[in-house]
């Protein structure tokens, strides 16, 4: 249990005699009041902290959604080779998870997200985007249909206030299950093999974006073929109590095949190579953007966002229908800049004019180039682009301008991601 869910200190009320002329001081005034979340400064750890901290050889930690997670456990290069050549296991529990249930759950979600969910079958998942009335993006995430009237929405940031506001008039329940549901991400070409070795029968028969319950070492685990690595991969959803045991069991069975524990830095690199923008990093939710210019429409963020057309009413629908016909003012693109070593990138230039800003960057070993997510003005995106980079040598720093090109295809997009049956060999 995380510290913020612990019960506050019990306070016994002190009797104060109102008739007394003597001044009395209520001692409770001087007691330290337990701060309430979200203002409390507490360190959250995930249910998997006990196993990830045992794996850490670098003591490099980072903050993800308020949780302490390993940034790099051993070496980013080694972890990357495991991900692209064998399999990588990571703790993704800090993702925000909502359970949405009740008679009107489908109707509620239909209005909440931009895509049409009527074809979503039980035990499958889709990528969803949700907007507010002006058509600006609040967030995106993965929506699982767990049962006839039960769904799970997994997002990068919290959206509870908006979801509660939207729930008015629907018979629907919304629960934040983030603290009780652990999430293990198993990605890489041998991930199916690792699960097979761990005792999941017929894992190769699980279709992309499908999910099912499995029994792994007598622990019930919900296995879904999802993940943002651009390769074959699975996500394992389990109780917080079972999670460390599941991790150890997977490591034990997978290590002979090259499975490695990995950290947050690799996740960022993998999603950059695979081309998945992250809320709060590559775009700002319209409710967090201080200036409205920082908020984005779905057309700016995704090449072909799934937006239901026709009769269905959904949040932002009216605005998006009119936005669909005009070209977006800017676009989130992946840029590649050729340089032999990792550099830090900041702004996008067209000639000498700044036409965009880099939001995430990293060195992609697959391309042998620096790649970056950047928000670029639409008109400039067709022309010659350059990136300003800072090269560090010893203590010195040097500003250089690198030629950049837009990647039309993700840096890593393996066919394995979508084949059925999933390969059990590399």
Question: Is 178 a residue that touches other proteins (CB under 8 A)?
Answer: no
Query: Left if phi > 0, otherwise alpha if psi is -120 to 50, otherwise beta: which for 135?
Result: left
Asked if 360 and 278 touch (Cβ cutoff 8 Å), the reply is yes
Q: What tokens were used for 19?
A: 């008739």
- Choose the stretch contacting other proteins; rule: CB under 8 A; options: 20-28, 88-96, 167-175, 387-395: 167-175
Instruction: Name the residue nearer to other proteins (CB basis): 12 or 118.
Output: 118
Contact of 90 with 267, CB cutoff 8 Å: yes
Residue 149 found at the interface with other proteins (CB under 8 A): no
Stretch near other proteins under the rule CB under 8 A, chosen from 161-169, 204-212, 297-305, 377-385:
161-169
CB of residue 130 to other proteins, shortest distance in Å: 10
Q: What is the CA radius of gyration of the chain?
A: 24
| H/E run at residue 271 | helix 264-274
Shortest Cβ distance from residue 387 to other proteins (Å)? Answer: 38
Q: Does 204 interact with other proteins (rule: CB under 8 A)? A: no
Of residues 5-44, those binding other proteins (CB under 8 A): none
Q: Site for other proteins (CB under 8 A): which residue of 315, 360, 364, 370?
A: 315
State which of positions 355-384 bind other proteins (CB under 8 A): none
Specify which residues 279 forms β-bridges with: 283
Q: Does 298 bind other proteins (CB under 8 A)?
A: no
Q: How far is the CB of 13 from other proteins (least distance, A)?
A: 22
Contact letters (x/-) for other proteins, 78-117, by CB under 8 A?
--------------------------x--xx-xxx-----
Q: Is 318 in the site for other proteins (CB under 8 A)?
A: yes
Q: Are 120 and 153 in contact (CB under 8 A)?
A: no
Q: CB of residue 135 vs other proteins: minimum separation in angstroms?
A: 10
Task: Give SS3 for 297.
Answer: coil
**Contacting residue, 132, 140, 156, 235, with other proteins by CB under 8 A:** 132
Task: Give the total of residues touching other proteins (CB under 8 A).
Answer: 22
162 binds other proteins (CB under 8 A): yes
Q: Looking at the chain, how many residues does it have?
A: 426
User: Residue 323 is encoded by which pair of tokens?
Assistant: 């936005």
Contact between 421 and other proteins (CB under 8 A)?
A: no
165 binds other proteins (CB under 8 A): yes
- Please, which residue, 112 or 198, has the CB nearer to other proteins? 112
Stretch that binds other proteins, among 89-97, 128-136, 212-220, 365-373 (CB under 8 A): 128-136
170 lines the binding site for other proteins (CB under 8 A): yes
The C-alpha torsion from 380 through 384 and 387 to 393, rounded to 10°, is -170
Question: Which residue number, 25 or 313, has a Cβ lying nearer to other proteins?
Answer: 313
Rank residues 108 and 361 by Cβ distance to other proteins and give the closer one.
108
Q: Minimum Å distance from CB 105 to other proteins?
A: 12
Least distance to other proteins, CB of residue 314, Å: 7
Q: Which of 52, 84, 87, 88 is nearest to 68 (CA)?
A: 52
Position 313 contacts other proteins (CB under 8 A): yes
| Residue 74 near other proteins by CB under 8 A | no
Cis peptide before 393 (omega within 30 of 0): no
Site mask, other proteins, residues 250-289, x = CB under 8 A?
Answer: ----------------------------------------
Q: How far is the CB of 169 from other proteins (least distance, A)?
A: 3
Q: Provide the binding-site residues for other proteins, judged by CB under 8 A.
A: 104, 107-108, 110-112, 132-134, 162, 165-166, 168-170, 311, 313-318
């Amino acid at each position: 249990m995380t510290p913020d869910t612990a019960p506050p200190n019990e306070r016994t009320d002190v009797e104060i005699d109102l008739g007394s002329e003597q001044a009395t001081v209520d001692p409770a005034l001087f007691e330290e009041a337990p701060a309430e979340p979200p203002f409390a400064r507490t360190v959250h750890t995930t249910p998997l902290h006990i196993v990830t901290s045992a794996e850490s050889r670098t003591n490099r930690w980072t903050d993800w959604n308020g949780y302490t997670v390993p940034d790099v456990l051993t070496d980013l290069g080694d972890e990357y080779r495991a991900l692209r050549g064998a399999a990588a296991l990571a703790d993704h529990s800090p993702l925000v998870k909502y359970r949405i249930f009740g008679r009107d759950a489908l109707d509620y979600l239909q209005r909440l997200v931009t895509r049409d969910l009527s074809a979503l079958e039980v035990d499958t998942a889709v990528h969803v985007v949700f907007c507010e009335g002006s058509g600006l993006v609040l967030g995106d995430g993965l929506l699982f249909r767990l049962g006839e009237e039960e769904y799970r929405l997994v997002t990068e940031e919290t959206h509870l206030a908006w979801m509660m506001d939207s729930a008015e008039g629907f018979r629907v329940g919304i629960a934040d299950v983030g603290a009780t549901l652990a999430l293990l991400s198993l990605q890489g070409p041998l991930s199916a093999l690792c699960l097979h070795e761990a005792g999941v029968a017929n894992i190769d028969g699980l279709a992309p974006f499908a999910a099912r319950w499995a029994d792994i070492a007598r622990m019930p685990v919900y296995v879904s073929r999802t993940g943002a690595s651009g390769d074959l991969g699975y996500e394992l959803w389990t109780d917080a109590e079972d999670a460390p045991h599941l991790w150890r069991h997977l490591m034990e069975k997978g290590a002979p095949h090259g499975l490695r524990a990995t950290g947050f830095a690799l996740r960022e690199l993998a999603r950059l190579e695979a081309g998945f923008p992250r809320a709060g990093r590559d775009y700002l939710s319209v409710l967090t953007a201080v200036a409205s210019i920082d908020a984005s429409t779905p057309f700016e963020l995704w090449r072909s966002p799934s937006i239901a057309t026709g009769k269905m009413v959904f949040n932002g629908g009216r605005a998006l229908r009119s936005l669909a016909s005009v070209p977006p003012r800017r676009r989130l693109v992946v840029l590649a800049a050729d340089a032999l070593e990792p550099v830090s990138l900041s702004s996008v230039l067209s000639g000498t004019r700044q036409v965009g800003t880099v939001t995430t960057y990293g060195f992609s070993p697959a391309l042998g180039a620096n790649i970056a997510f950047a928000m670029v003005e639409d008109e400039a995106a067709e022309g010659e682009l350059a990136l300003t980079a800072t090269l560090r040598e010893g203590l010195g720093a040097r500003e250089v301008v690198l030629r950049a090109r837009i990647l039309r295809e993700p840096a890593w997009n393996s066919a394995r991601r979508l084949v059925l049956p999933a390969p059990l060999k590399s």
